[in-house]
Amino acid sequence: MLTTKVIIVILCCLLVSSYGQQPSTCPDQGSGNYGCFDITSQGNCTEVSNKSPTYDYRWLNSGVDSNVDWTITCGDIIAYKIQGYTGVWSGWYVPGVNDMDTKVNGGNGLRRLWSYFYDHNHSYIICKPNNINHLNGC
């Protein structure tokens, strides 16, 4: 009987000590941290380079709406460049940071510089949700 109890206690101790142990395939990142976390649900960003004018009126008519990128491109455009008609590329514009057009349009309307996606070459970096979270229709 005593032997059985001792064996049970030992088994319990083994269970407790192995509980919380990391799989042996997890890389030791130092300081007791193991890289065993699932981050595969992250979104994903890609660069779209030298895209031709879209001739999509939604860019032209979107005013200062900072979410029209979702409507038109199914993603979050985090930075973009515009090519002027002289061929010279702008620097990076970041929505909400430095992308207000200084031009005032009819009805005192202001626009973001991405309104020029309508009739200018442009490049952008776009971030989309992970495939498991994709929006309907995208």
Ligand X SMILES: *[C@@H]1O[C@H](CO)[C@@H](O)[C@H](O)[C@H]1NC(C)=O
Task: Judge contact between 65 and 109, C-beta under 8 A.
Answer: no
Pick the closer one to ligand X by CB: 112 or 122. Answer: 122
41 binds ligand X (CB under 6 A): no
- Of these, 83, 90, 110, 127, which contacts ligand X (CB under 6 A)? 83
- Of these, 62, 73, 115, 121, which contacts ligand X (CB under 6 A)? 121
Beta strands in the chain (DSSP E): 44-51, 76-82, 122-128
Of 26-34, 94-102, 111-119, 125-133, the window that binds ligand X (rule: CB under 6 A) is: 125-133
Pick the closer one to ligand X by CB: 66 or 83. Answer: 83
Give the bridge partners for 125, in sequence order: 47, 79
User: Using CB atoms, what's the residue nearest to ligand X?
Assistant: 44
Calculate the alpha carbon distances from 81 to 45, 58, 121 in Å: 16, 18, 9
44 binds ligand X (CB under 6 A): yes
Order of all β-strands in the sheet with 76-82: 44-51, 122-128, 76-82
133 binds ligand X (CB under 6 A): no
38 binds ligand X (CB under 6 A): no
Q: For 92, phi and psi rounded to 5 degrees?
A: -80, 135
